Amino acid sequence: MNLWSKILTALRGGTHEVGEAIVDAQALRILDQEVRDATEELHNSRESLAELMARQKVAEQKCTTLSHQVLEYEGYAIQALEKNDEVLALEIAENISDLENQLKTEQNADDGYKDNVDCLRDVIKQADRNIKELKHQVEAVKAMESIQQAQSVVAQLNSGSDSKSNTAKETLERIKEQQALKTAQLNAAEELAAELSEDSLKNRLEAAGVVSSSLNANEVLARLKAKVTLRIADDHHLKE
């Protein structure tokens, strides 16, 4: 094999591999299209069956009509023979012969339609079962594909080696930090509101004269004198 032949063979091999890769990547889409095509063909087959059944019905009706006509003209022929009118009887017999030939043709057509209808009906039933089974399998494959994709994403997130994984973890950490900051802000706001509420209550009590906002010097001196008097009384009691 010369060099160019080897190159061409390699190119054909590469093209085949690329083609297989494309088919593998689009497998579910191709499978869906094949199911749609099969369903469309089944629909067309049902329309063909309906047409065959209609033709068979028409042929059957023609056979019934021709059979009645044969019986009718046989009666006319018998009446002609009873009257010894063989010429008329022969003419009627020729008409009966034509009717019987038509009946035979229509009967053959009717039998052929019946056979085709029965055959096509069986084929359609089998095709319908196959398509239903195929659809179930497609749904199962799609479900498995979704599960495997989800597992792949989770595996990448847990591995920590993928850039997407790192980005996801960083995003998660930022969200946690933002949530912690928000919680701290809410707690601080509640504490501030409580402090303001206590100050407001104290201000209202002072305004009502229930508590004093400050002590003057006389009050402080009186408190100190009371402590001194109490101490002197204690000393005197000890000496006694």
**Would you state the pLDDT for residue 16?**
47
pLDDT-based confidence at residue 2 (cuts at 50, 70, 90) = low
**CA dihedral angle for residue 167, residue 171, residue 173, residue 178, rounded to 10 degrees:** 160
Q: For position 23, what pLDDT does the model report? A: 47
Our CA dihedral for 99, 100, 102, 107, rounded to 10 degrees, sits at: 140
Mean of the pLDDT values across residues 189-202?
68
The alpha carbons of the chain give a radius of gyration, in whole angstroms, of 53
Is residue 208's pLDDT more than 80?
A: no
CATH tag, 3-159:
1.10.287
Q: Is the pLDDT of residue 22 over 50?
A: no
For 123-162, the pLDDT digits (tens) are 889 888 888 888 888 788 778 877 877 777 667 666 655 5
Task: Give residue-wise pLDDT tens across range 85-131.
Answer: 999 999 999 999 999 999 999 999 999 999 999 999 898 898 888 88
Q: Where in the chain is the domain with CATH 1.10.287?
A: 3-159
Structure tokens at 84: 């010894």
Please determine, for residue 211, whether its predicted confidence score (pLDDT) is greater than 60: no
pLDDT at position 38: 84
